[in-house]
Structures are given as structure tokens and as C-alpha cells.
A and B are shown apart, each in its own frame.
Chain A
């Protein structure tokens, strides 16, 4: 079995960087969205819910293309960000982060939402009667009690971000050292005649990382279940 090439090591490191940043950005956003979905009552909630979950059912290439149209250099939002703030996502590793966030959002939101819905609203009521306003109640009661769901969501989201391929390659392409993640590297290797060994090795690594995340999230969930009973 061949050793990994330096490029492959760079791809692995980049993948971890992208997934870590995507999780750090995605979890707070997901928590707010999950709270709105779990506790909010407003017209169009089903549609809002559908929009968040859309990346789960769309072909990833469509999501990536949509990101390109919106956030590309000439895109609706992308052009504005570029001109006024000099922020560019297209063909940058930060763009890969955006793609990873959008793709992992449904999974994280779902896990956190279930957790928030499991919090007894009577405890929030009791908190209010003790003088805590909505924000204090959220941070002192709802959020800590939702922590298992947030950790599980973060773990699954991290794994999903690591494995993201379709949206990423469509939005930010496959530039070595900048946007070539594990998935893109496997794809590249599999396309070249002498890359079979490297593709296989990277695939095994990707599978190991994914499995580790799944087991970790299960252990976290079980640990909290035991701690709370």
C-alpha cells in the first residue's frame, strides 16, 4: 500500500480546518434556528422549516450552484460583499466553510431542535416567576438542558462537513491547498490512472473519521441520558 502524498496530507489538514470552522459557525446559527422552530409560532413556519432542510433533499450540486449564484464574485450578495467589504468566498477555503455550513445545517438544527423540544416549558415558566427574563431563561435553563442535543448536533455536523463534496466542488472548485478537501482529493485521485491506492487510503480515512463521529455522538447522548436519570 502506498504512502500518502504530501498533497493528500494537506487535503486532510484543510478538511479538518474547514469542518472545525464550519461547526463553530454552524452551531450558534443552528441553535437560534432550532429555537425559532421549536418555540416560535408564526405564519410560514412550515416553509421556513422546509428551506432549512432543503439542502438535505436537493442534489448537492444544486446547493453549490445556488451558492455560486448568490455568493460568487458576480453573485447577488457576493458582488456587494466584494465591493464594500472586500470579502470573497468563491474559490477560497472560506467558501468551502460556507458550503459545509449550509450542508450540515439541517442535521445540526434537527438534533438541537429535538433537544429544545424535550425541555419542560414548565421549568421556563418557573424561571420567569423567579424574575428571569426571556434571555436569562434561555441561557440559564433552556440552553444548558439542550446541551446534549447541541453536542450531538455539533459532532454529526462536523462529520458531515468533513465529508462534504458536491456543493463544495461546485461552489469553490478543487484547488490544491485552498479548496481541495479529502472528498475532492479522493475524487481527483480516482480520476488519475495511478491514483487508485491513494483514493482507497483516503476513503478508509474518511470512513474512519465518519464512524468515529457517529460513535462519539452516541456516547455523548448515552452519557447525558445516564447523567440525567
Chain B
């Protein structure tokens, strides 16, 4: 459990943030300059809180009135954008560093499983300078975790890596989240990361909390500067190896992912841009689109422009936003309650971060 309340001026920027987080991953999401990293610094204790309150697991870290637990006594781990490994120590000694300062009774995270999960066993005798960026960040994750923190802060941990490295690390963070049950506050401006990891999203805009909710709820609502997107949850089916496709089974139908994604049966979230969705009143025939999801129109907003975004309730209850022209709405007589089929271009689907 974590409770954060911050009211503080930072230069010419006013930060007013109030949110709480529970066991899973709480994402702080927003454009750069929205105050995400400042919030992390307050939670970690790197910036002194003058007004507000930060409570982690019932322990008051700062109350804005003189109580300020120094960073090294908070037992809050931080994974930074850069790995920040100690260059004069081997990977093994980097990993064991935090343990030196963790009271014996609180070392509840064991070395073996962490090293196995992160796949860094073969790196233990190496020096950080000889590791690739992705390897360094993996070690950095392990180092933070092995201090057995009561909360783990991740400040854009994938931002300094290239796309293939991000693909390599994101599932590892997922695995850490699921295996070691440490609450995580995850800062990012990448929708795809947030959708995959978070159980709760706190959207920050200009130092204020704009929205709070599950990824599905938060990204369905159009915000000024973010595209409208929907999140569909499902379970991975057996891949179609010859054609390099993987099905995600959902109550409304099968969503086809590009590439071979494993393991079979894993719960995944797929992100769909509203502009990649078309609607049909009959199950279509003779189209190249592979993903057809059944549902009913939930809402057709009034509009005067050329296109509107229709909210479709898919069979099974999840929602999908479809951006279509008003001309099409009139011609097909789309209105709430109407049975529709949502067509999603398979090539637009990808569970990988952009």
C-alpha cells in the first residue's frame, strides 16, 4: 500500500498530486514535463517534501512537517532510466550490494530466483562496462529487487533502450511483478508499457492528476493530447507457425497478433488504435482483415466533423473505440443497440511496445 499526496512548487511548476496504489503496478503516465519523475523523487526521498504526505505500508516517510526519512532508510528501491551500476564492482557484487544494508529478517527475496528470472547467471563475474545496455538494465532490476524493498520505483526504465532491448526487458518486469509480489510504481510515457504492466494508471498532466483508473478505462477516454485507444484482454492460443501469427482468444472473437508470441495460455492485453477499427453490420466475407469481433453499438456521439468515435461493447463486456466517418454512420444507420462486427487490421495489432 502506498499513499502519496504532494502539494509543492518546483521552480515555476506547481505539483498537486494525490493518489494511492496497492499490490500491483501503479503507472504514472503522462507526457514529459507532466511531473512524473518529480513524484518519484519525492517518494524516494531525493527531494524534500514541504507539503503533503507519503506513506508506504503504514510507515510515514514524509509528512511535510519535519518528518523526512532519508532515502537510505526508506527501503524503497529505485530503477533509474540508466542502469547506474557500480563500475568498480562485478555484476555479482552489484547484485549483492543492497543486501549488506537490509536487516537479516527482512531479506525475503532470494538471489537464485531473481538471477534465474532475469537470466543473468552467466554475467556474475563480468564488469558492468562489458555488458550491453539491455544486460545492464537487467542487472539493475535485480540489484534493486535483491535489497528486498517494500516498494519498487521504476523511472522510465526502458526509455534509454532501443526497441529490441525493450522487448527483451518488458516481459522480465512482468515476470518480476508476478513472481515477487512487490508493489511497483512505474513511470512511463509509453502507452504500450503501461497497458501491459499496470493494474492502475494515474494520468498526470501539467502537475495534476487528470484521470485514475484501470488501463482499459483510462485509455478509452479521449484526452487532449493522446490518441483514443482500446485495450482488449484475452488469452494466447496456439500460434500459427507457418504464417507467423498468434491468436488471442477473447469472448468476442479471435484477435490475430503478428509474430509468434508465447507462452500458450498467457493472459495478454492488446492495444487497438480507434483509427485501425472498421465496423460492418454483417459478418464480412472476402476481406483481407483476419480479426472480426462481435458486439453491439453502445454509444454514437453527436458530432459535426467528418468522423466520430463510436463506442462498441464487445461480446463479453469489454469496450472498443472505432473511428468512422459520419457519412458511414448515417448510411449504415449505426445507433445504440445495433449489432455490429468490428474489423481490426491484423497488421495493426501488436502487443510489443512501440
Contact = CB atoms under 8 A, between A and B. Distances in A.
A211 interface: no
A125 B84 CA distance: 9
A9 B183 CA distance: 71
Contact of B144 (A129, A133, A136, A141): A129
Nearest to A126: B84
B101 A132 contact: yes
A128 interface: yes
Size class of the contact patch on chain A: 20 to 34
A141 B100 contact: no
B84 A131 contact: no
User: Looking at chain A's contact residues, is the secondary structure mostly helix, strand, loop, or mixed?
Assistant: helix
Contacts of B54: none
A113 B144 CA distance: 30
A131 B75 CA distance: 6
Contact of B87 (A131, A137, A145): A145
Contacts of B80: 122, 126
B143 A130 contact: yes
Interface residues of B, number: 25
Contacts of B98: 130-131
B82 A122 contact: yes
B169 to A, nearest CB: 18
B84 A122 contact: yes
Contacts of A228: 87, 129
A129 B87 contact: no
Contacts, number: 63
B12 to A, nearest CB: 23
A128 B71 contact: yes
B84 A130 contact: no
Contacts of A137: 72
Nearest to A130: B98
Nearest to B75: A131
A197 interface: no
A39 to B, nearest CB: 16
Nearest to A144: B88
A79 B192 CA distance: 75
A130 B97 CA distance: 7
A123 B72 contact: no
A1 B71 CA distance: 68
Given A122-B80, A133-B72, A145-B88, A127 B144 contact: no
Contacts of A126: 78, 80, 84, 86
A129 B101 contact: no
A127 B88 contact: no
A129 B87 CA distance: 17
A129 to B, nearest CB: 4
Contacts of A136: 100-101
Contacts of B78: 126, 129
B38 interface: no
Contacts of A123: 84, 86-87
Contact of A125 (B46, B76, B77, B144): B46
Contact of B44 (A120, A129, A131, A141): A129
Interface in A108-129: 120, 122-123, 125-129
A141 B84 CA distance: 12
Interface of A: 120, 122-123, 125-134, 136-137, 140-141, 144-145, 228-229
26 contacts: A125-B46, A126-B86, A127-B86, A129-B44, A129-B71, A129-B72, A129-B78, A130-B101, A130-B144, A130-B147, A131-B73, A131-B75, A131-B102, A131-B147, A132-B97, A132-B100, A133-B72, A133-B101, A136-B100, A140-B86, A140-B97, A141-B86, A145-B88, A228-B87, A228-B129, A229-B129
Given A122-B80, A129-B76, A140-B86, 9 more contacts: A126-B80, A127-B97, A129-B77, A130-B97, A130-B143, A131-B98, A131-B101, A144-B88, A228-B129
Q: Which 5 A-B pairs have the closest CB atoms?
A: A131-B101, A130-B98, A129-B78, A126-B84, A128-B71
